[in-house]
Amino acid sequence: MSAAVGGAGDGTVPFRGRTVIRLDPDLGIASVFGPSRRWRDEGPVERILLVRPAVGRLQVTQGGRTLSCCSRDALLVAASRGAVFDAMGVERIDVLAIERTRLTGPLAALDAGFLRKIDRDHPGLQTLTVYAAGLLQGLIPVATAGLADLVREHLAQLLAFIVREPGREADAPGPSRHALRIQALKAEVERRLGSADLSLEAVAQARRISSRQVQAMFQAEGETFSGFVLARRLDRAMQRLTDTEDIRPVSAIAFEVGFGDLSYFNRTFRKRFDLTPSQARRTCKPVA
């Protein structure tokens, strides 16, 4: 089994990306880079889709209902035909697609109009994400047709678990002390995100620890305090700009989420999402 890299010409792959990585023979998983801004499934068969944007906002509209998610959350669409997807500031979309004729159990029982947002911290989504990534990266070898069938069954079972368990399991292991502390720090940042007094020192003082400890805890997560603050402000700005009910000027939104320099906001927004704030607003239009 080998990885296949394709482009926009293959109609069987969702989102017509600039580059698509999947396995050959197809296991139903793919990573789509540079996806089209709007996509409608016109494939030969009806599929159930689990789609997850790595960064940005992804919206699906079907049967008069619209549902959206942001970075690392996922959308579950029980029947892909007729669903319209809008990608806003999305660099990569990870996809699991299973033909509806192959579904059994709780997946087969899903109504064709079923839509659900899956939070990024759902244990089933986390397991499925790591498993699929291992397959695409060749870390989990699938050398025979029998193993390929088994992997497809595993993927379907993980998706069925996500359907059965909408939220975190009550008996799941509790978070570690470090996880609780970093969560508290990030919650403090979120609380102050739009304030001019947000700083490393202010957050450290609020949590009664040293600035050095705050930096060390963020570094243990593979990021910096300032990088986290900037990313969250940009993500919040993206949410505001793509909210069809928020008609405030771009400058008002930038200042509301904590930016004091409009040119810096425009520059960092474009770097993160590969489009300007005004372009992000124009991409979020009601589906006709």
Q: pLDDT tens across 14-55, in order? A: 788 878 888 877 888 988 888 888 888 877 788 899 999 988
User: Where does the pLDDT of residue 264 fall: very low under 50, low under 70, confident under 90, or very high at 90 and above?
Assistant: very high
Residues 160 and 185 both lie in one domain:
no
pLDDT in the model for residue 179: 76
Residue range 114-141: mean pLDDT, rounded: 89
Does residue 186 share a domain with residue 159?
no
pLDDT number for residue 157: 92
CATH, residue 62? 2.60.120.10
* 1 has pLDDT over 50: no
Kindly report the CATH number assigned to the domain that includes residue 240: 1.10.10.60
pLDDT at 173: 52
Whether 122 has a pLDDT exceeding 70, the answer reads yes
Residues 187 and 107 in one domain: no
152 assigned to some structural domain: yes
User: Are 111 and 236 in the same domain?
Assistant: no
Mean pLDDT of 202-219: 91
Q: In total, how many domains does the chain have?
A: 2
Asked if residue 172 belongs to a domain, the reply is: no
Tell which of 132, 164, 196 closes a domain: 164
Measured in Å, how far apart are the chain's first and last C-alpha atoms?
42
Answer whether 259's CB lies under 8 Å from 229's CB. Answer: no
Q: Are 58 and 95 in contact (CB under 8 A)?
A: no
Same domain, 51 and 93: yes
What number of other Cβ atoms are within 10 A of residue 216's Cβ? 11
In this structure, the answer to whether residues 104 and 204 fall within a common structural domain is: no
Residue at a domain's end among 143, 164, 185: 164
Tell me what the mean pLDDT of segment 196-213 comes to: 90
Question: Quick one: pLDDT at residue 255?
Answer: 94
Does residue 274 fall inside a structural domain?
yes
124 with 260, same domain: the answer is: no
- Is the pLDDT at 131 greater than 70? The verdict is yes
Question: Does residue 49 share a domain with residue 19?
Answer: yes
Q: Which of 164, 185, 220 is the last residue of a domain?
A: 164
Residues 194 and 153 in one domain: no
Query: Do 32 and 147 share a structural domain?
Result: yes
Of 108, 101, 71, 137, the C-alpha closest to 272 is 71
Mean pLDDT for the stretch of residues 208-220: 90
Report which residue type is found at 204.
A
Asked, for residue 188, whether it belongs to a domain, the answer is yes
pTM above 0.85, yes or no: no
Looking at the fold, whether 139 and 109 belong to one and the same domain comes out as yes
Same-domain status, 26 and 147: yes
Q: Is the pLDDT of residue 170 over 60?
A: no
CB atoms within 10 A of CB 131: 17
SS (H, E, C) the chain: CEEEEECCCCCCCHHHCCEEEEEECCCCEEEEECCCCEEEECCCCCEEEEEEECCCEEEEEECCEEEEEECCCEEEECCCECCEEEEECCCEEEEEEEEHHHCCHHHHCCCCCCEEEECCCCHHHHHHHHHHHHHHCCCCCCCCHHHHHHHHHHHHHHHHHHHHCCCCCCCCCCCCHHHHHHHHHHHHHHHHCCCCCCCHHHHHHHHCCCHHHHHHHHHHCCCCHHHHHHHHHHHHHHHHHCCCCCCCCHHHHHHHCCCCCHHHHHHHHHHHHCCCHHHHHHHCCCCC
What average pLDDT does this structure show over 174-184? 74
Answer yes or no: is 169 within a domain. Answer: no
Range of 141's domain?
Answer: 2-164
